[in-house]
Structures are given as C-alpha cells and as structure tokens.
Structure 1
Amino acid sequence: MRFDERFIEELKARLRPSDIIGRTVKLKRQGREYVGLSPFSKEKSPSFFVNDDKGFFHDFSSGKHGDVISFLQETERLSFVEAVSRLAAEAGMQLPAEDPQAAEREQKRQGLADWMDLAQKWFAANLRRNVGKAAREYLEKRGLPEDQWERFGLGYAPNDREGLKAALIQRGARPGDLVEAGLLIAPEGGGQPYDRFRDRLMFPILDARGRIVSFGGRAMNPDDRAKYLNGPETSLFHKGATLYGLPEARRILGVEKRGEQGIVVVEGYMDVIACQRAGIAAVAPMGTALTEEQMGLLWRTSAEPTLCFDGDGAGQRAAARTVERALPLLKPERSFQFVTLSGGLDPDDMLREKGAAALREAMQQTVPFSKKLFEKECFDVGALDTPEKEASLLVRLRKAAATIADPDLSKTYKDYLVGAFYQLVRPTEQEKKQAHRVIYRDRKARQAQAIMDVTPEARLAAKSLSQAPKPIMSAVIEGLISYPSIISERAEVLGTQSFGDPDLDRLLGDLVRITYDVSSMSDGLLRSRLRALGHDGILKRVDRTASIAHAPFLETGISLEEAEKSLRRAIDALLQALALNRALTELKRDADFDLVTFGGLKGQRDALERYISSGEIWTDSEMTVH
C-alpha cells in the first residue's frame, strides 16, 4: 500500500505525539516539552523528550529521533504500513484505496472486523457470568489470575448453538457475514448457521496490526474430539501468515527491554501467555509447523528467533519440520536457535512450578541451528553401526548444506557438518579418553563386575602386560603378519585399538589398511610394504621380542587351523587384558572414585591372579621376561 505525503502529514496532524508515546513512556510536562525515561536504554535520569509542537521525540541516551510512526516501528517492531494503519485507525482516517475494488474489499473487511470485536466482548462477558464458572476454575487451576484475563482478551463461549449468533444479530449482524468471519458454521446440506465455538475457553487471535482476525478455543469437555479449535481461513485470517501473540511480543521487545534474546516461538496459547507474563516475547503458530510467511514475520522482529518445542515426539517432529522448511531460507544475518525445556515441562508448567526467573533462565539455554540440524540427520539415520550407514549420514549432511540458498553460508555449513561427522565417527584419542572417564565414573558397579568376568587367560595376560608389554603385543602382530586373513575378521576392532605404544599403534593401523586394500598378500610382500611405510625399526623390535612370548601360533610345524585358532584366542585375551588395565588405570585416576572400593577391586584381581595356576594361551604357564 502506498501513502502520499499529504496523507501522512494529515495523520500526524490529527495525533499528539505525547498521547501516543505516553501510553508506553511515563511523561512529565517540562515547559513546552514532555520528558521521561528512555524506552530504548536503561537509565536513572530522564533524557527522553517529546515535543508536540514540532511533532517529534528525541532520546539523548540512544540518539534515536523521529515521529510517532517511527516510535511505533522502534518500540513495537511494526513495519511502516502497519504503524500507519494503526495510527490511522486511532485518528479515524480511512486508508487510501489503490482502486475501487480494493476499497470495497477493505470496507468489507472492516465490517467483519467490527463483528470480531463485538464477539470478543461477548465472550469476555460470559467468562465472568455464571455460565463461565468451569472456565474460570480452569484458569485458576492453571495459575492465571483474573487481573490478566483482560490483558489477553480471554473469554468463554457457552454450550449454546445460537448464543453468539443471537447476540450479534440483535446488534444488526447478518448471518452470512458471521459465517464469512468464521464465527458461524453453515451446514453443507442447508439449514440455519450455528455457532462454531461452544463450551470453550476463548483466545482472540490478532494480526500484526493488533486487530482481531480470528479466535482459538480450548474445549472444557475432556471428551470433545478437538481439544483446541481455531477459526477457518477467511478474508481476515490466514493461518499460515499469523502468529498468536505477536503484537504483545513486539511490545515486550520494544518497551520492556527484553530484546537481547529476541522473540521466542512456543507451541500453545497458554505457553505464549506464560512467557509474556514472565517478560518473554513469545508467539505461537496456529497448531502447525512454522510456514515461510511466519518465518518472515519472525525475522522482521529478531535476527535469530528461539524455537521452544515440547520434548515429546510431536514436539520434536515439529522441530524437525521447521528445520527442513527453514534451511533454504537461512542467511548470515538470519537463523534460528532451539530450546528444549528439561523434565518434560512446557513454559506454562515451568512458570507455575518454578517461577518467572527460572523460565527466563531456561530460555537462555539455546542450541544453534547448525547443531540441531546435525542431531536431526543423525537421528534419521539411526545407529552408525555399519559403513553404509556412516556413508548415508555423510551424504545427507552434504545434501542438507547444499539446500541453503546463500552460497557462502552453504559452504560454511558443509564444512561444519562434515567436520562434525568425522568427529563423531573418528574421535581423537583425547575424546576417547574423556569418554572412558565419563563411562567409568558413572558405572562403578559395572566396572567391578567386568573385572570379575574377565577370563583367567586375560588376567594372566594383564599381569604379564604390566611387567613387559612388548612380547605379547609383538607376538600378536607377528601372528597377524603371518596370518593376514585374521585381520579381515577383526579389522573393525583392531583398527580402533591402542596398545599404548605410538609405534605399535601406527604399525597396526597400516597393517589393517594394507590388508583392507589388498585382500591377499604374502608374508614377504606384507613386510616389504610395511618397511616402505617407515616401519622398519619397529618391525625389527617386534621380531626380537615376539619369540619371548613362546606363542604356539608362531611355532614351526603347527597346522594352519590350529595356528589361526590359537591366534584368535591370543587376540581376544590381549584385548581383554588391555581393557582391564585401562579400566583399573581410569579408576585409579578418577578423583570421584572411592579409594576403598578401588583397593577392594585391586585386591580381588590380585587374589584371582594368585588363584590361576596355569595359562593355555602361551606355551609356558608364566611368560619369561628379559
């Protein structure tokens, strides 16, 4: 809509800035001006001035300056058209029509809007009458005091098919207009229209300009098929382009200085009311996932709105749909962040149980859009227990990044998502150790049982490892070089195993990789490839120390079947021994672990080791150590 200069000047001439601004800023007369505390910054001494004669305001603390239109734009986050439309309604001025048809449509919409206002007044009156007793009790149960009902325009629709219809027709309404406004339902098979909302707590739905365009109703009867019912699409109400609570949220952002976090999106009417009572600028979609139009409204208000969905399945599905829909629209200067309240609470529950301060604090615990996207894709793929699933996740992450229209942001997201993928599936040694610390700290009882469940052979190997780690490890590596088919069987475990010796770890890693690339390779060729990769020194050390272990699978004359069987048992025992030693080491290092408990576990291990009389992995019952 276009406004000419004459219209704007006449509009401002009809309104006194001190009247409009004085509704949100407490002003005092000072000579020919009015003065008050700045609505744009925190201050103790007034530096905000309004001059009716010149038609402007000036704020010395923030440097902001303008007229009543720009004041509404700043404080309530309205667009220019929205601010002019609001002020024109107050001044009693008809908005200029672009053509006769547009003027006719505007006049029609205004007529319907008048009936919406009267309907809200009728609902509000019923809430305080005897017929609204159940609705009042419900609001009291939900902790919403009576002095807040008018602020949010709450009301009650009695269980009467023609209660509202009769009240509005008595004031001159035509049934057809009330059907068009969504207040009545016209039966498909013919017959008289009847009230759409019956026995429901009523919530008026306002558009961005603050006009009532529809209603939402909560059923008082628990057996009602629809717990919440919104009005239908009309010439006034477009569900996908409307956010419940937007005018009040803009006021909170502009006047109550809650703009640091920005606007918050929650799921229901009562959640919006709870947040706004706590000073949080909250809105809600009309029972569906956010549309592109609603996202545009949010981004006009905040650069990074916060989306707060319930932690249940429905809430998380709504969050996932929002991520998918928002992804192509992201830009460096506009995104979303996410909040999931703990304990399964929604904002209304948290306000009643923990108070406004706790709710505001919870809303600050946000997760960025990028992390939420990564979590969503991981959830959709499921457990990454096969290479195929890992590859599937990587493909999904790259496709998601490519969905972003902004090329620079798309590339940045790709780098982040792929990096997060490799961090997840290929953690660093430090991350592995940290994960072990967390696991052992939280599972003391299971640690004790795990030590008791280790086989006698593994305990003997662990005892030997603590004295001379190289012979057992060297023997196993010699066995793997001699029988590389075993590597293929255990590649997944061996590829992530650490012996605590960097040279051995690198040798084992390359050994697994070489045999993965080439399925069949002779002993000599395998050794040659390892030397070419820089392992000549460690191979010589392995050759020198492997014989000390007296491993049967390295003896000459042993059959292939027996050698491989013995090597498998040796690998299993070695891995258990390494796990046992790591567990005990972590327990000892854990400052939270009970030293008495640790001493008891160590004593159990020592007693078990003394109880072992022989071991069948190695030729000798006790390993000879040099």
Structure 2
Amino acid sequence: MMKFPAGFLDKVKKQTDIVALIGQGGVTLEARGNEYWGLSPFIQETTASFHVRPASQDFHCFATDKHGDAIDWVQFHHNCPFVDAVKYLAERANMEIPAPPAGQPVRDHAQQARRKAAQAAAQFCMSYFQDCLKQDRGQAARTYLKNSRGVQDPARFGLGFCPPGDALQHAASQAGHTIESLLDAGVMRLSERNKKHYPIFGGRLVLPIRDRRSRPVGFAGRVLDGEQSDIKYLNSPATLLFDKKSVLYGADTVRFNSRKGDLSSLILVEGYFDTITLQEAGFPAVASMGTAVTQDQLEAAWSMASTIITCLDGNQAGQIASERVLDGALPLLDGKRRMSFVTLPADLDPDAFYRQDHGVGFDQALKAAEPLSERILNTVRVAQRVEDRVSALDRARACLSALTDKDWRTSLAAALQEADLCHRASLSRLSDLNKGSLTSLARLRIRNRLQDTILLLVARLSPEDLRAALPKLPPLDPAYDTILAQIVADPTIKVAGKVDLVVPHPGLDAPSLLDQSRNREERNRPGKEAGKGRDRILEDLRRISEQLRDLG
C-alpha cells in the first residue's frame, strides 16, 4: 500500500470541510449550536442519530456506531480503500499527491498528466451532457426517460444528452479541452473514412459510467425512441480511464440509493436501466454492462458486499451468462463470500420485471434466490434421463475441481454425498485431489471406468441376457450387485435401451452408475451384435476389477 509523507494526511483533513463533504454525499444536516445532526445514511430511521462535529472534523452514527474522520467517511460512502479515499480528498482540495518514497514505483509524469487531462475532459463532458438534457434540444431524451423508462431523478445518475454535430467539440474547446483529451475521455472518435472527429454519442441519451469516487471514467449512449439505428447502446472504447471489464455501473450511487444504506448484498444485473430502476426503488443494484461478467467485476462487487445476487435477464443469453458467472465465481469463493441466483421469467429483464407490478414479483424472486451451492445440487436433482444426469454430474465435478477454497470444496462434496447424488467414494476422492494423491486419482479413474462399463452392460443387454451374464461377473461392490439384480427383476426399467429408473438404495442408485461417463457416443451407437458386446464388456469388467484390487 502506498505510504504518504508525515503530516500529509493531517493537511488533507484540515483542507476538508467535513460538513460540506457529508452534505454532498446526500445527507441533510441540521445545525444545533456548533454541531450538526441528520438521519443516518447507513440505515433507515426517523429520528436523527447521525452527529457531525466541525471542530474535531469527525462524525458519529449512534444507530450503527460507525464513526471517523473525513477519510473514513469517503471509505464508507464510496466503498473505496484508504489510499483512494486520501487521493479523492486531496484532489477535491486541489492538493498535489506527493511522489512515492524511494523503493515504490514512480508513475510516468507525462502519462499522469495525460490521464489528468482526460479526467478533466470527462468531468466537463458529463456536466455538458446534463445541461443539454435540461435544454430544448434535450426534450426528446427527457420524454424518453419519463414515459418509456419512468426515471424519477435523472440528475441522481448524471444522465444527459449529447447533441449531434460538432457542438460538443466546440464547447469543450472553448473550455480549454483538447481533442486528444476528448479522445482519451472516450467521447470522440476519429472517422477512418474522412479522418474527421465526431462525437460517439451524438443524438443519444448519455449515461456516465463512474468509479466509486463518482468520477466519470466512460460513457454509454442509448438511442432514443423513433431514431433509426442498428445499435441500441454504444459504450466508450477502452481508454486511459475506462476498462469495461473492471467497472460496475452504479457502484458510486448504490450505497446511497439502497434501502439499507449499509450494504450486505449487491444485486448484479446486466443493464444500465436495470440498475437505475432498481436503485430508485431502493435495491442495491449494480450492472456488468452486458452478459460478459468478468472476475474483476466480481472482485469489485465482493469488495463492497459479502453476497452477490446474480439477476441477469430471463432470456436464454442471460441464463447462459448466469452459468458463466457461476464458473467465474468458483475460484474466488472463500469463507466470507456468498453468491445466489435469481431466475427471471423468460424474455424479461430486471427493469421490465420490476415495473410490470411495481416490484411485487421482484421482491418474491429475490426472497427465492437460489444459493450457488443449491444451484449446483439442483442441476443434478432435476435430471431425470440418463443423458441429463451424466451432464449434470460432469457439471458438478467440474465445479468441485474449480473451487480453490478447501472448505468450500469439502462442503460441496459432502452436500452431494448427503443427497446421494454421486458415488461417495468418487466424490470424496475428487474433493481430496488437491492433496496430490496419485493413488487416489488412479483409483477414482478406474472406479469411474467400472461405473461406465456397468452402465454399458445394462444399456446394451436385454434383461434376459443380463440375467445370464450375472454369474460371470467378477466380484463387485455389493451396491452394484443390488442394482443389477433389481434391473433384472424389473424389465420395465429398460426404456429404449436407457436406464430411466432411480433405484432406491441408501448409498447408490442407477443414475450414480453414470458418475463419470466417457463412453456416451459408444453407448448410443446402435447395430452391434449383443452377444459379442456382452463378452467384451465382461472381459473389461474383469480387468477393471483386478486393477482396483491391485490399488487396494
């Protein structure tokens, strides 16, 4: 972590009016003598318990016992680390950030100056777009926000309008911003056709994308109703300021707009207006700005709250993206991090789903959110056909393998075992693979081959041929003997050559035979002579059984 010179932090705090700082954060403060009181920004309350003392430059919330100085307030309000909070206050007070001490990396001064110019240009553009929205030329955008989106307070989210043509460049130039800084701010682009610069968001509603310190780092432009465009949304390109993969839209306003104030969970959605609608309704929503949720975004979300509630669109693309979110989350899980999933009705996004009944259904969906572990378990539970069960078990094994936290790995394996969803020995070995036991790995692979081969035997032979083959089987686990005997005793479980019955056995059932099937194509290949297939399968069983005995 960056270390600041002695005395610098005191100077930053002295240059900060804590009353003004907290007031700008949305807290209404009332003077009582030399002190100020207001409603807690951390919880909902009706009696003021939030206390600010200008003389000592500190605050104290008696409702939550949160307290501190200006730096602590910025950390609470913007969900940012200590160093970022200090830099925010220093920049706010027009103080130079001191160079790092010897031994710490020194930033390129030219690059730093270029970045500072881009930040200034982005700040100007955000204000300019907001002003344009309020003017006559922003009438269509205001109508769209009110009638099509139901946005109550556009200013809260910094919404604006970018006029077409060269108006933006002309206004920015008059304010002292160069075309290079506008390019770096992600609002202008060079045409490859005529080599002229043009505004990326001309004629569009503009949504600023801000970091947790409320600084614009990029922009998004939404086409208005009635305008012809094949592209509904445009985003700023990757710039010095903007890396879409690491930013969450709405992260700067989520705490202030949340009903609870003090975040314990975040709702992760796809879109800008999903976020705006939910935040205006008091839900702690942030957006990944598309279906491609990155691990950097998950890390950013978990840095603000311990639980992520994934609530992507209800269409097929959204549900596929939810599975990718689960995959990305598995290596990042630890004892403090949680994730759950909300499944929306098909073809509805969170914005539309909330507005169709003023949030009644959305509230119910949130309460029914499926924890990550249950999502994995339920994938296996609901699988009925052999092929579906094979895929589900493969999925469960892949999830176990992706987990890096030992407690998570052990607990999920135990949950699968307790539900009798997979073969116990296979799962216990799989959950222990991180111990590096080659013997366990070899035994796991051989036992999976044994399960595959028994499945092949069951799928390939008729009950009569299977009954004739039983005496020729090598010594197996008694559980297999029980299942095979039940299969022979009840021919109705053979449907189109597939095992469709879940056999009620305390430790193993027919779908567990599919624990790891690597022979799906072979198993479904028709036209082989049954007797010849039986002899080869029996020989495979004898060989596999001997290999297991050799391993002990």
The TM-score normalised by the length of structure 1 is 0.63
- Tell me, yes or no, if the aligned pair for 1:183 and 1:197 is still in contact at 8 Å: yes
Secondary structure, counterpart of 2:321 in structure 1? helix
Using the TM superposition, give the Cα deviation of residue 307 of structure 1 relative to its aligned residue in structure 2, in angstroms: 0.9
Q: Given the alignment, which residue of 311, 316, 320 partners 2:319?
A: 316
Residue 135 to residue 64, structure 1, CA distance change in 2 (3 Å): closer
Using the TM superposition, give the Cα deviation of residue 338 of structure 1 relative to its aligned residue in structure 2, in angstroms: 1.0
Using the TM superposition, give the Cα deviation of residue 42 of structure 1 relative to its aligned residue in structure 2, in angstroms: 5.3
- Tell me, yes or no, if the aligned pair for 2:315 and 2:348 is still in contact at 8 Å: no
Partner of 1:57: 59
Aligned equivalents of 1:251 and 1:183: distance in 2? 28
Residue 60 to residue 165, structure 1, CA distance change in 2 (3 Å): closer
For 1:136, the aligned partner's letter is R
- Tell me, yes or no, if the aligned pair for 1:402 and 1:414 is still in contact at 8 Å: no
Using the TM superposition, give the Cα deviation of residue 376 of structure 1 relative to its aligned residue in structure 2, in angstroms: 5.7
Partner of 1:409: 408
Aligned equivalents of 1:389 and 1:109: distance in 2? 52
Aligned equivalents of 1:374 and 1:330: distance in 2? 17
Partner of 1:6: 7
- Tell me, yes or no, if the aligned pair for 1:398 and 1:414 is still in contact at 8 Å: no
Q: Given the alignment, which residue of 83, 89, 92 partners 2:91?
A: 89
Using the TM superposition, give the Cα deviation of residue 88 of structure 1 relative to its aligned residue in structure 2, in angstroms: 2.0
Cα distance per residue 1:239-265 (max 9 Å; x no partner): 111111110013335xx4254652111
Partner of 1:385: 385
Residue 159 to residue 56, structure 1, CA distance change in 2 (3 Å): closer
Tell me if 1:137 matches 2:143: yes
Secondary structure, counterpart of 1:216 in structure 2? strand
Partner of 1:215: 219
Tell me if 1:243 matches 2:196: no
Identity %: 33
Aligned equivalents of 1:568 and 1:5: distance in 2? 83
Residue 71 to residue 174, structure 1, CA distance change in 2 (3 Å): closer
Q: Given the alignment, which residue of 178, 184, 188 partners 2:188?
A: 184
Alignment of 1:573-612 (within 5 A): none
Using the TM superposition, give the Cα deviation of residue 208 of structure 1 relative to its aligned residue in structure 2, in angstroms: 1.9
Residue 418 to residue 56, structure 1, CA distance change in 2 (3 Å): same
Alignment of 1:200-211 (within 5 A): 200-211=204-215
Aligned equivalents of 1:279 and 1:44: distance in 2? 17
Partner of 2:275: 272
Tell me if 1:489 matches 2:491: no
Secondary structure, counterpart of 1:72 in structure 2? helix
Residue 56 to residue 177, structure 1, CA distance change in 2 (3 Å): closer
For 1:271, the aligned partner's letter is D
Partner of 1:467: none
Alignment of 1:288-327 (within 5 A): 288-327=291-330
Partner of 2:178: 174
- Tell me, yes or no, if the aligned pair for 1:156 and 1:201 is still in contact at 8 Å: yes
Identify the range of structure 1 (187-196 vs 151-160) with the bigger mean alpha-carbon deviation. 187-196
Residue 252 to residue 568, structure 1, CA distance change in 2 (3 Å): closer
Secondary structure, counterpart of 1:151 in structure 2? helix
- Tell me, yes or no, if the aligned pair for 1:397 and 1:418 is still in contact at 8 Å: no
- Tell me, yes or no, if the aligned pair for 1:216 and 1:229 is still in contact at 8 Å: yes
Alignment of 1:25-40 (within 5 A): 25-40=27-42
Tell me if 1:232 matches 2:243: no
Cα distance per residue 1:72-124 (max 9 Å; x no partner): 32344222123222222322222223376444433322211121122223322
Tell me if 1:149 matches 2:154: yes
How many residues were matched structurally? 440
Identify the range of structure 1 (366-375 vs 202-211) with the bigger mean alpha-carbon deviation. 366-375
For 1:78, the aligned partner's letter is C
Residue 56 to residue 287, structure 1, CA distance change in 2 (3 Å): same
Residue 97 to residue 63, structure 1, CA distance change in 2 (3 Å): same
Tell me if 1:114 matches 2:120: yes
Aligned equivalents of 2:107 and 2:391: distance in 1? 55
- Tell me, yes or no, if the aligned pair for 1:76 and 1:251 is still in contact at 8 Å: no
- Tell me, yes or no, if the aligned pair for 1:201 and 1:218 is still in contact at 8 Å: yes
Using the TM superposition, give the Cα deviation of residue 193 of structure 1 relative to its aligned residue in structure 2, in angstroms: 1.9
Aligned equivalents of 2:39 and 2:178: distance in 1? 49
- Tell me, yes or no, if the aligned pair for 1:240 and 1:286 is still in contact at 8 Å: no
Tell me if 1:333 matches 2:336: yes
- Tell me, yes or no, if the aligned pair for 1:278 and 1:357 is still in contact at 8 Å: no
Residue 360 to residue 72, structure 1, CA distance change in 2 (3 Å): farther
Using the TM superposition, give the Cα deviation of residue 215 of structure 1 relative to its aligned residue in structure 2, in angstroms: 0.6
Aligned equivalents of 1:158 and 1:205: distance in 2? 19
Using the TM superposition, give the Cα deviation of residue 416 of structure 1 relative to its aligned residue in structure 2, in angstroms: 2.1
- Tell me, yes or no, if the aligned pair for 2:255 and 2:263 is still in contact at 8 Å: no
Unpaired segments ≥5 residues, structure 1: 425-484, 492-511, 522-528, 534-566, 573-626
Cα distance per residue 1:365-410 (max 9 Å; x no partner): 311011223456789xxx6533x76455434422321210111211
For 1:401, the aligned partner's letter is L
For 2:89, the aligned partner's letter is L
Residue 293 to residue 347, structure 1, CA distance change in 2 (3 Å): same
Secondary structure, counterpart of 2:252 in structure 1? helix
Aligned equivalents of 1:141 and 1:312: distance in 2? 25
Aligned equivalents of 2:491 and 2:94: distance in 1? 91
Residue 131 to residue 260, structure 1, CA distance change in 2 (3 Å): closer
- Tell me, yes or no, if the aligned pair for 1:258 and 1:280 is still in contact at 8 Å: no
Residue 125 to residue 36, structure 1, CA distance change in 2 (3 Å): closer
Cα distance per residue 1:320-362 (max 9 Å; x no partner): 1111111111112112111123464322223432225654443
Residue 222 to residue 102, structure 1, CA distance change in 2 (3 Å): same
Secondary structure, counterpart of 1:168 in structure 2? helix
Identify the range of structure 1 (354-363 vs 397-406) with the bigger mean alpha-carbon deviation. 354-363
For 1:110, the aligned partner's letter is K
Using the TM superposition, give the Cα deviation of residue 315 of structure 1 relative to its aligned residue in structure 2, in angstroms: 0.5
Tell me if 1:372 matches 2:375: yes
Secondary structure, counterpart of 1:107 in structure 2? helix
Residue 289 to residue 384, structure 1, CA distance change in 2 (3 Å): same
Identify the range of structure 1 (34-43 vs 337-346) with the bigger mean alpha-carbon deviation. 34-43
Using the TM superposition, give the Cα deviation of residue 515 of structure 1 relative to its aligned residue in structure 2, in angstroms: 6.6
- Tell me, yes or no, if the aligned pair for 2:379 and 2:392 is still in contact at 8 Å: no
Partner of 1:615: none
Alignment of 1:41-56 (within 5 A): 41=43, 45-56=47-58
Secondary structure, counterpart of 1:142 in structure 2? helix
Secondary structure, counterpart of 1:289 in structure 2? coil
Cα distance per residue 1:449-485 (max 9 Å; x no partner): xxxxxxxxxxxxxxxxxxxxxxxxxxxxxxxxxxxx9
Alignment of 1:464-475 (within 5 A): none
Structure with max Cα Rg: 1
- Tell me, yes or no, if the aligned pair for 2:185 and 2:241 is still in contact at 8 Å: yes
Aligned equivalents of 2:363 and 2:84: distance in 1? 29
Secondary structure, counterpart of 1:247 in structure 2? coil
For 1:233, the aligned partner's letter is A
- Tell me, yes or no, if the aligned pair for 2:263 and 2:305 is still in contact at 8 Å: no
